[in-house]
């Protein structure tokens, strides 16, 4: 990694056409906005680039979005060949097909920052930025305990069966252990609205009295809320989703009692990754390592900080 020794401010004073050749190029390669979270991630990547191009005149960014792994590999190879990138920020479409190509880029001396989805082989990237799945579950469970100090009966919707889902659920279970919260049932809603609508319909028919739902994801929460409304049930006090979807944050902000809180797993973590990479390129500040972005509880008090009206998510 090449550290540029001039500070951003010093370069800003010098800035002019003569410096055009001295820019450092950072490539950003991410999946296209095929679903909600990815849409938010695309939005925050562009926002971060716009912001950082103003903060650091000596940096230039190239952003490419890919709809499949092959396109992402070719995007990255193109960034190296034609743009001479000094750093690559990549959120792999899939781990396996990207591992070899990203390793090849790192071998050429390009700084590599990997976001969210790890590569299949350890030690390739200089910096890894990811969400905190056990923490996501823990913060959700702690909120449930706070909200129901006298305990209660809840149902839980799980995501697609994966390590991510297991870590979240284990974190949740550890947090509610010893509280009076009783989990009536857990089923996989697969991070999908329609699946979750069906799962919740089933829960509603099985259990005449449910105090709350840990939907564990905002898309699943939308399905759950739809099923509750369709059934006309008024025993359920609230539904806790997660991720930080715009519509849910808005409901939290407005004081909707059915959606009193949310837990982040922010698509804006791409901005953190781009920011740290920019810092590494422009200063001697160490930015290699592993940054696990914490899951934060969003309530009416702080919801405005997590609401991005222009984001699709």
- Within 191-220, which residues bind a second copy (CB under 8 A)? none
Among residues 202, 275, 300, 312, the one that binds a second copy under rule CB under 8 A: 275
CA distances from 99 to 90, 95, 96, 133, 294 (A): 11, 6, 6, 22, 26
Among residues 64, 184, 308, 312, the one that binds a second copy under rule CB under 8 A: 308
If the CB atoms of residues 75 and 126 are measured against a second copy, the closer one turns out to be 126
The answer to the question of residue 162 lying near a second copy (CB under 8 A) is: no
If the CB atoms of residues 226 and 312 are measured against a second copy, the closer one turns out to be 312
- Within 121-150, which residues bind a second copy (CB under 8 A)? 126-127, 132
The answer to the question of residue 176 lying near a second copy (CB under 8 A) is: no
Choose the stretch contacting a second copy; rule: CB under 8 A; options: 15-23, 81-89, 167-175, 279-287: 279-287
Choose the stretch contacting a second copy; rule: CB under 8 A; options: 15-23, 178-186, 207-215, 288-296: 288-296
The answer to the question of residue 48 lying near a second copy (CB under 8 A) is: yes
Among residues 1, 183, 185, 258, the one that binds a second copy under rule CB under 8 A: 1
Find tokens 């001479």 and name the residue: 84
The answer to the question of residue 22 lying near a second copy (CB under 8 A) is: no
Contact (CB, 8 A) for 200 and 157? yes
Among residues 100, 153, 291, 312, the one that binds a second copy under rule CB under 8 A: 291
Choose the stretch contacting a second copy; rule: CB under 8 A; options: 187-195, 197-205, 207-215, 261-269: 261-269
Among residues 30, 91, 248, 271, the one that binds a second copy under rule CB under 8 A: 271
If the CB atoms of residues 142 and 195 are measured against a second copy, the closer one turns out to be 142
Contact (CB, 8 A) for 220 and 229? no
If the CB atoms of residues 3 and 206 are measured against a second copy, the closer one turns out to be 3
The answer to the question of residue 11 lying near a second copy (CB under 8 A) is: no
User: How many residues of this chain bind a second copy (CB under 8 A)?
Assistant: 39
The answer to the question of residue 299 lying near a second copy (CB under 8 A) is: no
Strand order in the sheet with 212-214: 181-188, 152-158, 212-214, 238-240
The answer to the question of residue 264 lying near a second copy (CB under 8 A) is: yes
Q: For binding to a second copy (CB under 8 A), which residues are involved? A: 1-3, 7-9, 48, 51, 54-55, 126-127, 132, 264, 266, 268-269, 271-272, 275-276, 279, 283-294, 296, 302, 305-306, 308
């Amino acid at each position: 990694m090449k550290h540029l020794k001039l500070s951003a401010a010093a370069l800003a004073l010098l800035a002019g056409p003569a410096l055009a050749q001295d820019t450092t190029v950072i490539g950003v390669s991410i999946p296209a906005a095929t679903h909600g979270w990815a849409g938010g991630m695309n939005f925050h990547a562009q926002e971060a680039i716009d912001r950082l191009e103003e903060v650091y005149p000596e940096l230039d960014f190239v952003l490419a979005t890919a709809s499949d792994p092959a396109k992402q590999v070719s995007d990255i190879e193109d960034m190296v060949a034609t743009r001479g990138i000094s750093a690559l920020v990549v959120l792999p479409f899939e781990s396996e097909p990207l591992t070899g190509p990203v390793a090849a880029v790192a071998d050429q001396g390009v700084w590599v920052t990997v976001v969210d989805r790890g590569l299949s082989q350890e030690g390739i990237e200089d910096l890894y930025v990811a969400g905190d799945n056990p923490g996501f579950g823990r913060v959700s469970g702690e909120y449930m305990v706070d909200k129901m100090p006298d305990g209660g009966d809840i149902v839980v919707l799980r995501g697609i069966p994966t390590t991510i889902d297991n870590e979240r659920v284990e974190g949740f279970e550890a947090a509610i252990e010893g509280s009076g919260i009783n989990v009536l049932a857990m089923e996989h809603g697969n991070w999908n609205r329609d699946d979750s609508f069906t799962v919740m319909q089933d829960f509603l028919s099985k259990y005449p009295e449910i105090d709350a739902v840990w939907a564990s994801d905002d898309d699943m929460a939308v399905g759950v809320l739809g099923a509750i409304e369709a059934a006309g049930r008024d025993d359920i006090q609230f539904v806790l989703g997660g991720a930080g979807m715009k519509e849910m944050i808005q409901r939290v902000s407005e004081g909707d009692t059915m959606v009193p809180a949310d837990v982040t797993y922010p698509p804006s973590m791409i901005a953190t990754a781009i920011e740290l990479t920019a810092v590494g390129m422009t200063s001697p500040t160490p930015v290699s390592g592993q940054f696990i972005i914490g899951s934060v509880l969003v309530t009416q008090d702080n919801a405005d900080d997590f609401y991005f009206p222009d984001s699709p998510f």
